[in-house]
Structure 1
Amino acid sequence: MENPAESFFGGMLIEICIACVLYGITTLQTFIYFQKYQNDTSSLKLMVAGIWVLETCHTAFCMQLIYAYLITHFGEMTYFLDINWGVGATVVTEVIISTAVQAFYVKRVWIMSNKAKLLTSFIAFITVCRVAFGIGSTILSYHIPHWVAFRANEASLVTVSGGLGAAALVDVLVALTLSFYLTRGRNSWQKSSNSKVNLIMLYAVNSGAITASASILSVILYATQAHSLVFLGLVEIQGKLYANSFLGSLNARSHIRNKANAAQYPSFEFSSNSNGFRGVAPPVPKVEVYQETIVTNDMGEQENEFSLKSMKGSELV
């Protein structure tokens, strides 16, 4: 007889292991941030610390979820039909993390668009809808105790699909908006800034594409894989992707700045000290030629004597 745990929980187990690896990357990026950007504002530092704390709680809830299904209720095949309380805990923490990161990107849109109220309000409204759908999914996970009834409920289909779809839409709109305003403003900026703009655009598009693809794939798996929790495991990974995207955008600032400056000033070496950079002249080859005088004494023996006078190249014979 086929083991039901393999088809029901196998994919999610692997995905949570991947999520734990991404949590390690989040921790490393948090450490790098506090080491390199000590002059950032207190509010930004507090947000970074809050994201890391939420990621830690989210990882702990994921581990509890695995432990409950595979260890605590080991051998109880019917327990796979029940919705553990850790499911709602992981969903709500993932919603908080993703919303905080998206709000950070919406603020960037607000600045780049020269405070365009209509555009920013529209993206902010979709973000609020994503929060509402996420909270609705969390409440339904505690109100409906079994997976079969949860999947059959139309309200759960709306909240899950709506929440993931809204998250994907926000990611796409943010990436497209930032790319549009960066491209439009590039003509009015100095040519030396073009390399920086290209790197920022590339990073914004890639980050939005990754998180949006995860959201869309989760909706597809929720609709097609009715007897598996693989969609939920992808949702757990998505929260880690948002955190790493946020921290990566902060830690990439010095890399983008130094790379662009190095391309503009190739004869200088940039350093992280207070002077900004220091000039490094190319090494100049130096050739010294010494004149050798042969001296013969009365006994007919030769004695070598070197004069330490340096000769110029024109004196070579």
Structure 2
Amino acid sequence: MSAIPVVIDIRPTIGALFCGVIAASVFYGVTILQTIFYFQTYPNDKTFLRIMVLVVWALDTLDLLLVVNGLWTWSIANFANPLALLELPWSIKTEPVVTATISTTVQLFMAYRIRTSGYFLSSATSMYTDDRTAFLKVNQRLTPIAAIVGVVTFFSWALGLYATIHGFTTGGSVEDVDQALRWADIGANVSAAALDVTITITLCLQLYFSNQGFETFPR
């Protein structure tokens, strides 16, 4: 009696990860172009800005390498070994905290811009005392929003750190880990989306209400 072959459909798991890696690689290429464009276009920016851009690019590179390593471990190094699909590679366990660090770095910078943009706008229109005073008042009103963004950002980073620690310290299959961390995943995604919307709306409103000052900006 011949053995019945075991057929495992990996399209919803490894297949989805494979498609995700392809998409991430495309966007990573865009990130490289943006990084090169930034350093060529703004060579006189402050040192901390240039360092932050390099840090974000390096973290983005590391994030992609971690996901590629996880895909390699599952599909190449453990080819025809379905039991390997039950365990998370170390790279996949590390990836949440790296992703959270990228988001935290960018969102903290945007919170800084919300807090200081009123100052920059008022400096550009410093010849008009009324405009400068109005911008400074806007800047003061936006300080609580910047503070809230900073607090929620660290909350999202803490969830990413927790997911990584949980992955390394708790055993179980991929499904078990996914079930255990679903609440953290949902919380991190919801808070990140809420922050992105808040930051975008706040910056757009700042630009909208300061449109009178654009006439005096240096070309």
Q: Secondary structure at the match of 2:97?
A: helix
Structure 1 segments unaligned to the other structure (5+ residues): 194-256, 262-317
TM-score of the pair, normalised by structure 2: 0.80
Please say if 1:24 is aligned against 2:21: no
Alpha-carbon deviation of 1:190?
A: 4.4
Residue 137 of structure 1 is aligned with which of 150, 154, 163?
163
- Aligned-pair Cα RMSD in Å: 2.0
Over alpha carbons, which structure has the higher Rg? 1
Aligned pairs for 1:1-317 within 5 A:
2-112=7-117, 113-115=138-140, 116-145=142-171, 146-153=173-180, 156-186=181-211, 188-191=212-215
TM-score of the pair, normalised by structure 1: 0.57
Distance in structure 2 (CA, Å) of the matches to 1:10 and 1:82: 17
Distance in structure 2 (CA, Å) of the matches to 1:30 and 1:68: 30
Please, which moves more after superposition, 107-116 or 64-73?
Answer: 107-116
Task: State the match for 1:221 in structure 2.
Answer: none
Alpha-carbon deviation of 1:143?
A: 2.5
Runs of 4+ in 1 over 3 A off after TM superposition: 190-193
C-alpha change, 1:43 and 1:58, in structure 2 (3 Å) is: same
C-alpha change, 1:152 and 1:178, in structure 2 (3 Å) is: same
Alpha-carbon deviation of 1:2?
A: 4.6
Distance in structure 2 (CA, Å) of the matches to 1:144 and 1:16: 26
Alpha-carbon deviation of 1:168?
A: 0.7
Alpha carbons 1:109, 1:178 under 8 Å: kept: yes
Alpha-carbon deviation of 1:122?
A: 1.3
Structure 2 segments unaligned to the other structure (5+ residues): 1-5, 118-137
Alpha-carbon deviation of 1:55?
A: 1.7
Alpha carbons 1:4, 1:77 under 8 Å: kept: no
Letter in 2 for 1:11: A
Alpha-carbon deviation of 1:148?
A: 2.2
Give the number of aligned pairs: 192
Alpha carbons 1:141, 1:150 under 8 Å: kept: yes
Alpha-carbon deviation of 1:192?
A: 7.6
Distance in structure 2 (CA, Å) of the matches to 1:190 and 1:173: 23
Alpha carbons 2:156, 2:187 under 8 Å: kept: yes
Alpha carbons 1:88, 1:141 under 8 Å: kept: yes
Q: Higher strand proportion, which one?
A: 1
